[in-house]
Amino acid sequence: MRNRLPPGLSAIIEVALMFAPALPAYLWLWPNVTATEWHTPAEVVTYAYFLICCLIIGLRRWNLGQLGVNRQGIGLSLGCGAIVIAIYLLGRLVTDLPLELRPLTPNRLVRKIAFYFVLVGPIEELLFRGLIYRALEEWRGARWAVLGSAVAFGLYHIGWMGALGALVTAFIGLLFGAIRWRAGGIVGLAFVHGLLDVIATEIDPGLTIKQVDQIHIVRPGFAILGDTLLLALLVFLWKSRRARPNKTV
């Protein structure tokens, strides 16, 4: 019997089903294990599982270019991503939370790059701004693609980051989705994603929800600068010319 569901909707349903076998890792393993420099083998296996499922679900309907794995808008993504990272750092400097920087040794740097630039950044971008974005865009349009992929990105992180962390992550996902909309690809975003995660884990390796609830703004000037950069980024993304969608079959 011919599948009567739109390709985008059927892809979203398959992505939802994809998460079912990963729920034990998402709900129990990641929030409770103690991270190591090499991270747990289960994390690597989980990301490999996500990658395989994304390729199986996505390539049945679209090619890699249509999923965002192309050369479109790499410079735009890197430039806008740099602004997102600057906003994140300014937001971090606004508070009275102590910085817990550790010396970044060559061995630890290689391990960080291997995990965040090879696994986390590319695979999460392929999942959220690649497959989910493309499915929602084809099913409901670009607006739903940006909003829906951001919500999914936030919910994905709620298990170990809590509601506030998920809200912040969803907002970052909203910015990344807008960049994806304008750029037309995810290659630059994958690099920015990995770099942002490295910076976040280096600045706040042991940040807890309790600490977040007790923060105070002590440098309002940084907040004003961050808000100005954010407004400028949003105006640029709204007014800049959108990349032509990749329709190659």
Does any domain span residue 247? no
Which has the closest alpha carbon to 185: 77, 53, 56?
77
Neighbouring CB atoms inside 10 A of 75's CB total: 10
Categorize the per-residue pLDDT at 249 as very low, low, confident or very high, splitting at 50, 70 and 90.
very low
* pLDDT at site 246: 63
Residue 2 lies in a domain: no
Residue 213: band (very low, low, confident or very high) from pLDDT cuts 50, 70, 90: low
Give the pLDDT score at 164. Answer: 79
The phi and psi torsions of 174 (rounded to 5 degrees) equal -65, -45
The structure's pTM equals: 0.88
- Give me the pLDDT at residue 46, please: 84
What would you measure as the largest C-alpha separation in the chain, in angstroms? 63
Residue 105, in any domain of the structure: yes
Residue 248, domain member (yes or no)? no
Distance CA 247, CA 72 (A): 12
Rounded Cα gap, residues 99 and 70, in angstroms:
37
Report the chain's mean pLDDT, rounded to a whole number: 85
| Backbone φ, ψ for residue 217 (5° rounding) | -80, 120
Nearest to 45, CA basis, from 14, 68, 67, 21: 21
Residue 110 lies in a domain: yes
Q: Determine, yes or no, domain membership for 95.
A: yes
Q: How far is CA 186 from CA 3, 61, 88, 137, 191, in A?
A: 29, 18, 20, 15, 9
Please work out, in degrees rounded to the nearest 5, the angle formed at the alpha carbon of residue 139 by the alpha carbons of 121 and 236. Answer: 55
103: confidence class by pLDDT, cuts 50, 70, 90? confident
Work out the pLDDT band at 29, boundaries 50, 70, 90.
Answer: low
User: How long is the chain?
Assistant: 249
pLDDT for 158 equals 83
Domain of residue 159 covers 7-239
d(CA 233, CA 240): 10
Q: What is the pLDDT of residues 114-148, one digit of tens each?
A: 899 999 999 999 999 999 999 999 999 999 999 99
CB 84 within 8 A of CB 175: yes
Per-residue model confidence as pLDDT tens digits over 36-76: 544 577 788 889 999 999 999 999 999 999 999 999 999 99
pLDDT of residue 128: 97
Could you tell me how far CA 26 lies from the centroid of its own chain? Answer: 16
Beta-carbon contacts of 249 under 8 Å, excluding residues fewer than 6 positions away, are 63
Q: How far apart (Å, rounded) are the C-alpha atoms in residues 154 and 144?
A: 15
Query: One-letter amino acid identity for 104?
Result: L
The fraction of the chain above a pLDDT of 70, given in percent, is: 81
Whether 28 is covered by a domain: the verdict is: yes
Number of domains forming the structure of the chain: 1
pLDDT average, residue stretch 4-20: 90
- Residue 1: the pLDDT is 39
In a domain, 155, yes or no: yes
